Structure 1
Amino acid sequence: MTSPTTTAPTSGHQRKLAINRLRDRLATSDTGAVDRFLQRHTAPIIEGRFATFLWRGDAEEVMVRHRVVGLPDPLHLRRLPDTDLWHATIELPEMSRVEYQFEVVRGGVREQYLNDPLNPRLAHGPFGSQSVAAASGYVVPSWTLPDPEARPGTIDSISLRSKALRREQWIRLYRPARFREVRRYPLLIVHDGDDYLNYAAAKTVLDNLIHRGEVAPLVAAFIPPGNRLVEYANYAPHARFVARELVPYLTEELPLIDLPDGRCLMGSSFGGVASLSTAVRYPSVFGSLLVESGSFVFTDIGAEHGGGPVFDPVVKFVNGYRARPRVVADRIYQTCGIYEPLITPNRSMVSTFRDTGMEVRYAEARDGHNWENWRDRLRDALTWIFPGEQKFVYE
């Protein structure tokens, strides 16, 4: 695994970086050098394998905060002498994508979770936005952006009274363009459905991939959770709702393929745990699972997992499955970012799944635990699970 690393600004290569050229100009008493420098450069400055973070302003301390395994957190910036410009340079491998914020101490007051005012690029999530550092080679995939030539599918909000959950459960139901009652469609059920729609461009991705013929026309049920830390942590009522209430209801109401091969259950983080635990409880319902950065925390030795009490039921479930692995679906598409703390348990689960005889496709990305990482993996996952050339059409 190649991770970002801090780099001292003393090597022969690094003397050529923009920040070091600026240092040389400042040594000649060029008072306008910083202003011109910031007019020419957008932060962070990407130069080959190096990324230089910048902050301008009076402060006692400036730090980059992030969730990148292998990179010091906080990453301290240094002030250029006799200026108000702070900087830190790291090695950032090609194709990497890192989300970050600043922590700044000014006048003895610590300010946290500040986006980079010198960087217009932001990623959004349920807890707000973060700045994005994109290394050389990374571009936002074209199929995640609105395509005026792609005929849009529709999304309707429906409500289903759940006996298992003892509440009304809202569902955002996606139908593809050219939806017809005479066809039968595969079904994709998505945990954290509103977040996938709002922060991972899920509808745009489906519209584009179906329009391009890369993914079979499908129906998708985007389900938001109640208390996700409870309901997604191997919670029997949630699994019963999905397998014994939602699937039968949708199969009765819509022209769906009423076979496991035509159903996929997906989720990220705790939603990945919910997908696996539902399939464990109801192994005959789903033919495929799509699991992104699953929170598969386990303890092979000892009882301390470091995740806090909310992870206790997850650890108990994953420990139990690892002790008695079994087939729960025909295929699993599993992905994780190499900069995530969850990378080690996810890698370990690949062999656990494969040892059961299930077909597993596993992909890693130079990214972290975030929605745009999960968005960027959808094309490879969905074209494998529901390929466009496969004829899911039943007269």
Structure 2
Amino acid sequence: MKRLAINALRAGRPDAAAVDAFLAGREVPIVEGSRCTFLYRGEADAVHLAQRVLGLPDLIPLRRLHGTDLWYLVLELPAGSRVNYQLEIRRGDHVESINDPLNEKLSYSPVGTSSVCFAHGYVTPEWTAPDPDARPGELVELTVPSRALRSDRRVTVYLPARFRRTASYPLLVVHDGGDFLQYAAARTVLDNLIHRLDVAETVVAFTHPGERLGEYANSAAHSRYLTAELVPHLESTLPLAGQRSGRCLLGASFGAVASLAAAHRAPTAYGSLVLMSGSFVHTDIGTDHGEDPVFDPVVRFVNRYRERPRRVADRLWVGCGVYEPLITANRSIVPTFEATGMAVRFVETRDGHCWENWRDTLRDALSWVLPGPQKWVYE
């Protein structure tokens, strides 16, 4: 086996000049087959890799290269892995978490940025980047009054590039719509997938939540808003198919719970669901689920569904990253879905609970529930 670059450096009794030469022109983390070397350069009392890969400690110490200010850690990561991380630096009593100053690759989310490691074999899907040959769809801002939620709700509607009033389109409703547009490149992805005939020409309603954790945690009011207000409003103003097979709900994390809860309350309304990294926390025995109290209504809902499962759609696409704690809950609920007779596609990725994971799975999910032109009608 070829010697790792960091071990070759160690063997030469390096000084500051040797470290300079070692880092010059190198991409960090250093990926050599299945092994990834994380680095930090600077004076510190301790340096840790902070990450959320299931099965690894949240904080993993880096070692200091003797006689230098270079710190290193070698991790083995399976091919195709994508890992978000930060570095925790301790100097005396002061501890700070920072993005990796040697790594330009960043992951974005509503709570900030983190560094990202692309292990051997991971490539950002080319269909997530703008394609000059793909005609862009149009985004239209709507305000939908809601008696159920006692407020006016903002909805961003995507109309495909060749949208015609004389046609008939399926409807995809996306929870956390603003975040999918900003952090998962949803508009670009739709343009590309429709252009390539991977996905049917589709009207997409990107919803914007109010009090997200309350609305998405099996809220009856939010479910009424979707099924009794939003969908009828869109079907009365846009040329939509207006039938079960042409309606799909999509959500990630708590948004997946909201999608399942709405379909559970209206089991004849939706033909398909896309459930990404669903927060399907449950308890088999007792009441302690080890999570924040905000999960309490979710746990009650999932417990009841597991006890009395019902068919809530025709097709379910379920996906989850193997590096996130929710992988256990998602693996557990798939047989429950299948037992109802629903067609279920379950996809595991070597990624975590993040927007890039959900972005990277959009083609697989949407091409399965809303496949190419005129193929989306299942009834």
Normalising by structure 2, what TM-score?
0.98
Given that 1:184 and 1:392 are in contact with CA atoms closer than 8 Å, whether structure 2 keeps it comes out as: no
Moved over 6 A (4+): none
Equivalent residue number for residue 83 of structure 1: 68
Alpha-carbon shift at residue 84 of structure 1 (Å) = 0.6
Partner of 1:9: none
Alignment equivalent of 1:34, drawn from 19, 30, 48: 19
More displaced 10-residue stretch of structure 1: 382-391 or 235-244: 382-391
Q: What is the Cα deviation at residue 391 of structure 1? A: 4.7
- 1:66–1:99 CA contact under 8 A, matched in 2: yes
For residues 267-326 of structure 1, give each alpha carbon's deviation from its aligned partner in whole angstroms, at most 9, with x where no partner exists.
000000000000001111110000000000000012111111100000000000000001
Asked if 1:266 corresponds to 2:253, the answer is: no
Which residue in 2 is equivalent to 1:372? 356
CA contact (8 A) 2:175 2:250 kept: yes
Q: Which position in structure 1 is the counterpart of 2:297? A: 313
* Partner of residue 101, structure 1: 86
C-alpha distance in 2, partners of 1:389/1:176?
12
Does the C-alpha gap of structure 1 residues 322 and 207 become closer, same or farther in structure 2, counting only changes over 3 Å? same
Name the counterpart of 2:327: 343
Instruction: Report the Cα distance in structure 2 between the residues aligned to 1:390 and 1:103, rounded to whole angstroms.
Output: 52
Work out which of the residue numbers 288, 298, 311 in structure 2 matches 1:327. 311
For the residue of structure 2 that corresponds to 1:40, the secondary structure is coil
> C-alpha distance in 2, partners of 1:378/1:180?
25
Identify if the C-alpha distance between structure 1 residues 392 and 353 changes in structure 2 by more than 3 Å, giving closer, same or farther. Answer: closer
- Alignment length (residue pairs): 377
SS in 2 for 1:83: coil
Give how far 1:40 is off: 3.3
Aligned counterparts of 1:363 and 1:235: Cα–Cα separation in 2: 27
**Separation of aligned partners in 2, 1:125 and 1:30:** 39
Selected match of 2:36 from 28, 51, 66 = 51
Q: Is 1:208 equivalent to 2:199 in the alignment?
A: no
Number of the residue aligned with 1:24: 11
Offset of residue 224 of structure 1: 1.3
1:282 aligns to 2:263 (yes or no): no
Cα distance between partner residues in 2 of 1:278 and 1:391: 25
Partner amino acid, structure 1, of 2:26 = H
| Aligned-residue RMSD, C-alpha | 1.1
Once residues 155 and 390 of structure 1 are traced to their aligned partners in structure 2, the CA distance between those partners, rounded to angstroms, is 23
Question: Do the aligned residues in 1 keep the contact of 2:86 with 2:114 (CA within 8 Å)?
Answer: yes
Task: Give the letter for the 1:77 counterpart.
Answer: L
From 208, 231, 250, the counterpart of 2:234: 250
| Equivalence map 1:55-204=2 (5 Å) | 55-112=40-97, 114-204=98-188
Give the distance between the partners of 1:170 and 1:86, measured in 2 at CA.
48
Mapped partners of 2:161, 2:329: distance in 1: 39
The unaligned stretches of length 5 or more in structure 1 are 1-12
CA distance in 1: counterparts of 2:15 and 2:239, whole angstroms? 71
DSSP 3-state at the match of 1:251: helix
Instruction: Compute the displacement of 1:161 (Å).
Output: 1.1
CA distance in 2, matches of 1:192, 1:389: 26
Q: Give the Å deviation of 1:123.
A: 1.1
**Alpha-carbon separation, structure 1, partners of 2:99 and 2:222:** 36
The TM-score, its normalising length taken from structure 1, stands at: 0.94
Q: How far is 1:390 from its partner?
A: 2.9
C-alpha deviations, 1:251-280, integer Å up to 9, x for none?
A: 000000010100000100000000000000
Cα distance change, pair 33–288 in 1 and its aligned pair in 2 (3 A): same
- Partners in 1 of 2:15 and 2:339 — Cα distance? 65
1:39-64 superposed Cα distances (whole Å, 9 cap, x missing partner): 13221110000001000100011111
State the percentage of identical aligned residues. 58
Instruction: State the distance in 2 between where 1:251 and 1:391 align.
Output: 20
Greater Cα shift, 99-108 or 118-127: 99-108
Q: SS of the residue aligned with 1:116?
A: coil
Say which SS state the counterpart of residue 130 (structure 1) adopts: strand
- 1:222-261 paired onto structure 2 within 5 Å: 222-261=206-245
- Any gaps of 5 or more consecutive residues in structure 2? none
Amino acid paired to 1:341: P
Deviations 1:311-370 (A, max 9, x none): 000000000000000100011000000001000110011000000111100000000000
Q: 2:216 and 2:296 mapped to 1: Cα distance?
A: 12
Q: Retained in 2: the 8 A contact 1:185–1:392? A: no
CA contact (8 A) 1:49 1:94 kept: yes
Distance 1:382 1:31 in 2: 51
Q: 2-side partners of 1:309 and 1:382: how far apart?
A: 33
Aligned partners of 2:15 and 2:67 also within 8 Å: no
